[in-house]
Chains A and B, each alone.
Chain A
Amino acid sequence: MYELSELTKKYETKRGPISALNKVSLSIPTGQMVAIQGPTGGGKSTLLQMLGALERPTSGTVTLGGEELSAMPDSRLAEIRARTIGFVFQGFNLIPTLTAQENVETALAPLGLSNSDRRLRARAALEKVGLGERLTHHPAELSGGQQQRVAIARALVKEPKVLLADEPTGNLDEQTRDEIMELLEGLWRDEGLTLIIVTHDSAVAKRAERRLHLKHGSVTEKK
């Protein structure tokens, strides 16, 4: 699925260049569940941005399904994000003025579906994450766990091949964390997704098939 070769990312700051990723080479096969751990500032989020076609590397390559992301124009990257990659964020990142259903529909907007198709699929996705009764609720009317379920529904409604989750349980209590992880694991298993989770939580990481440790921009496998 993913092939990372000599991937390097440097940021220019006032204090000079900072290396977030340092010649990372990595292969993630299709359908694998990977957890990425490491200290804050170790490069976890930068790696996730590279995998999600949100950031271009300073050097090296990222290949997704045989296509090199670093060489693509912005419009093609947006298309890949719209069809192939789903995102789940720690802060949920829902649009506060839209209802749960409308938030899910935003992920379908770039696909050019009809209004009725869009609504139908958004409703089905919300039912799948157990929020069939909360379609018209705004984010402020939902609990943290429910908001994350809406975010997961938004990520999965377009039926992506990859789901990237950045601290998906970081803002949740233990019980809700377990519920969300069970939901993600179930979807990963049922949908055949490649699931990559960035987390500080070892309990979450232990659920993954494969654990990577990222420190000072370098990756090591964790047994």
Chain B
Amino acid sequence: MFGTYLYRELSNRRKQTAIIAAGMALAIALVMIVNGVAAGVRDAQATVLASVYGVGTDITISQEPVQPAEGEEGAQQERPRFEFGAEDGETTDGTTALSQSRLTSGIASTTFDADALTTALSLDSVAAATATLALTNVSFSGEVAAPTTTDTGETAPGEGAQQGGRGGPDGAGGSAFNVDTFTVTGIDVAGESVGPLTSVELVDGRAFESSDSDTNVVILDTSYATTSSLTVGDSLEIGGEEFEVIGTVTSTSADATTASNTYIPLDTAQRVADLENQISTVYVQAASSTDIAAVQTALQTELPDAWVKTQEDLASSVSGSLSTASDLVGKLGTWLSIIVLAAAFLISVLLTTSGVARRTREFGTLKAIGWSNGAVVRQVAGESLVQGAIGGVVGVAIGLLGILAINIAAPVLSASAAATAVAGQGAGGGGNRFGDAATTAAATTDIALQIPVTFSIIGIAVALAILGGLIAGAFGGWRAARLRPAEALRSVA
């Protein structure tokens, strides 16, 4: 009887059923799309972050920059300084060619003691951890006019070649300089389960081996290798020392570049940069996703001066239109969903309760012929539930179509994370004093937004539809339960 009555009511009161179901369907579809877009944005952020921090990194540890005390040079000391003696360079035709290379952690970077890695590895819930040292190599090369000796015995620049002209690259005593910078990341050659190299794949040559420890070998980002015309077997000067190129890598994600232009063994990087036992970032993988918060807390306790960030914290470092989309979904989308959902629920409740009021005689009669309160409430609630379910099914269909349309359109979002991240391995922002063109170029990436269709999104939609039906049914049922059968008789007497 319940099913027959329910079917007859819904099919004969199509207008009301359609209004309730349509309202619910729109709300459900919107919630699905907003949730889907949020998931898509999260995936995109994870992709961007993975390209910087590597796949599987749950937590990163870095060091908060410390403001130098008054009178100290502080970060100024980290800035590469090029000093040339009178005898440096080769002088030809009144022009002296000078060249120097410095490997430095950069002005905004902060390094810290490598014991932090030991601390991280000592925690029970840590599955893996590795340390890196993020550096910037700055090469200065140029030509200046060779100095000459005057009658008074003083040396005057630009007059080196007495025979005609005043020297220098322009022949008039002028100078010309080139400054080249690229990023260098010191990597633990033994540990690859976590860290930046987990999100790259080898294109040419070979990866690091344990025997590469403390040797002058370098792996290049393919984009950097191409623009610098370097291949496996070539040599590259880093921090004034020659390094052999043993391999090239590319990003496994949608990014065009990897997190760094070059990768060298960690101990080599520490030696060349004169930063013995210093690191800039520790990458930590928790034993399980449920342990992340506990590991973060434990690390923060053990390392009070360190920045201990989870992927969730790091998502805020992603900028660009991806970040805008994330904000939009997080704020406007969520509120819009809540408002539409509340409106749909309200419409459903109002129509259901007004329907009960309209059917006073009907329910009163049913009670008069022996229907219990519970049976009447079940009938009203059942009708609401089915209306909600119809809205849910239609809403899921509309939501899936909306998601399909977005996935076909695949709106491209730009994201910048590497620039922040590379600097962030030491500290936020900056890079080096010369401006970090190479790093910035490597940082910006375009990601086509793809919304994942998951059971959880569909499950949430269906659950909300059922919840809407239950809420409307509860109100309608409550009103029906309060109805006294005598009132029905009185209304027809």
The answer, yes or no, to whether B306 is at the interface (CB within 8 Å) is: no
Q: What CA separation (Å) do A98 and B362 show in the bound complex?
A: 11
CB distance from B369 to the nearest CB of A (A): 5
* Contact of A98 with B5 in the complex, beta carbons under 8 Å: yes
The answer, yes or no, to whether B370 is at the interface (CB within 8 Å) is: yes
The answer, yes or no, to whether B366 is at the interface (CB within 8 Å) is: yes
Which one of A49, A105, A109 lies within 8 Å of B489 (CB-CB)?
A49
The answer, yes or no, to whether A83 is at the interface (CB within 8 Å) is: yes
Q: What CA separation (Å) do A101 and B397 show in the bound complex?
A: 37
CB-nearest residue of chain B relative to A78? B372
* Contact of B368 with A52 in the complex, beta carbons under 8 Å: yes
CB-nearest residue of chain B relative to A110? B370
* Contact of B493 with A166 in the complex, beta carbons under 8 Å: yes
A110 with B368, Cβ < 8 A, contacts A93-B492, A102-B4 known: no
Q: What CA separation (Å) do A52 and B11 show in the bound complex?
A: 33
Q: What CA separation (Å) do A109 and B5 show in the bound complex?
A: 11
- Interface-centre pick from A79, A81, A89, A95 (highest chain B CB count, 10 A): A95
Which one of B1, B2, B8 lies within 8 Å of A97 (CB-CB)?
B8
CB-nearest residue of chain B relative to A74? B373
CB distance from B35 to the nearest CB of A (A): 37
CB distance from B8 to the nearest CB of A (A): 4
The answer, yes or no, to whether B12 is at the interface (CB within 8 Å) is: yes
The answer, yes or no, to whether A106 is at the interface (CB within 8 Å) is: yes
CB-nearest residue of chain A relative to B7? A97
* Contact of B367 with A78 in the complex, beta carbons under 8 Å: yes
Which one of B4, B365, B486 lies within 8 Å of A89 (CB-CB)?
B365
Which one of B4, B12, B370, B484 lies within 8 Å of A83 (CB-CB)?
B370
Which one of A79, A107, A118, A167 lies within 8 Å of B369 (CB-CB)?
A107
- Interface-centre pick from A83, A102, A110 (highest chain B CB count, 10 A): A110
* Contact of B362 with A95 in the complex, beta carbons under 8 Å: yes
The answer, yes or no, to whether A55 is at the interface (CB within 8 Å) is: yes
Which one of A89, A93, A108, A110 lies within 8 Å of B375 (CB-CB)?
A110
Q: What CA separation (Å) do A155 and B13 show in the bound complex?
A: 26
CB distance from B367 to the nearest CB of A (A): 7
Which residues of B from 362 to 398 have beta carbons under 8 Å from A? 362, 365-373, 375
* Contact of A78 with B13 in the complex, beta carbons under 8 Å: no
- Taken residue by residue from 1 to 31, chain B's Cβ proximity to chain A (1 for < 8 Å, 0 otherwise) reads as 1101100110111000000000000000000
CB-nearest residue of chain B relative to A108? B1
Consensus secondary structure, chain B interface: helix
CB-nearest residue of chain B relative to A109? B1
A81 with B489, Cβ < 8 A, contacts A97-B13, A106-B5 known: no
Which one of B368, B371, B375, B484 lies within 8 Å of A87 (CB-CB)?
B368
A81 with B370, Cβ < 8 A, contacts A93-B361, A106-B5 known: yes
* Contact of B370 with A79 in the complex, beta carbons under 8 Å: yes
- Interface-centre pick from A75, A87, A97, A166 (highest chain B CB count, 10 A): A97
Which one of A81, A97, A154 lies within 8 Å of B12 (CB-CB)?
A97
The answer, yes or no, to whether B485 is at the interface (CB within 8 Å) is: yes
Q: What CA separation (Å) do A142 and B98 show in the bound complex?
A: 110
* Contact of A90 with B492 in the complex, beta carbons under 8 Å: yes
Q: Which chain A positions have C-beta within 8 A of B362?
A: 93, 95
Q: Which chain A positions have C-beta within 8 A of B8?
A: 97-98, 102
* Contact of B4 with A110 in the complex, beta carbons under 8 Å: no
Q: What CA separation (Å) do A157 and B404 show in the bound complex?
A: 56
The answer, yes or no, to whether A28 is at the interface (CB within 8 Å) is: no
A110 with B489, Cβ < 8 A, contacts A97-B9, A102-B4, A105-B1 known: no
Q: Which chain A positions have C-beta within 8 A of B368?
A: 52, 54, 81, 87
Q: Which chain B positions have C-beta within 8 A of A118?
A: 1
* Contact of A78 with B370 in the complex, beta carbons under 8 Å: yes
- Taken residue by residue from 58 to 70, chain A's Cβ proximity to chain B (1 for < 8 Å, 0 otherwise) reads as 0000000000000
Q: What CA separation (Å) do A78 and B486 show in the bound complex?
A: 12
The answer, yes or no, to whether A38 is at the interface (CB within 8 Å) is: no
**Listed A/B pairs (28) with beta-carbon separation below 8 Å:** A48-B489, A49-B486, A49-B489, A52-B489, A54-B367, A54-B484, A54-B486, A55-B484, A78-B371, A79-B370, A81-B485, A82-B370, A82-B371, A90-B492, A91-B492, A93-B365, A95-B365, A96-B12, A97-B9, A97-B12, A98-B5, A105-B4, A106-B1, A106-B371, A107-B369, A109-B1, A109-B375, A110-B370
Query: Closest 4 A-B residue pairs measured CB to CB?
Result: A82-B370, A97-B12, A109-B1, A45-B493
Residues on B lying within 8 angstroms of A by beta carbon are 1-2, 4-5, 8-9, 11-13, 361-362, 365-373, 375, 484-486, 488-490, 492-493
Other than A97-B8, A107-B370, give 11 A-B pairs with Cβ distance below 8 A. A45-B489, A54-B484, A78-B373, A86-B369, A87-B365, A90-B493, A93-B365, A93-B488, A102-B4, A107-B369, A158-B370
Residues on A lying within 8 angstroms of B by beta carbon are 45, 48-49, 52, 54-55, 74-75, 78-79, 81-83, 86-87, 89-91, 93, 95-98, 102, 105-110, 118, 154-155, 158, 166-167
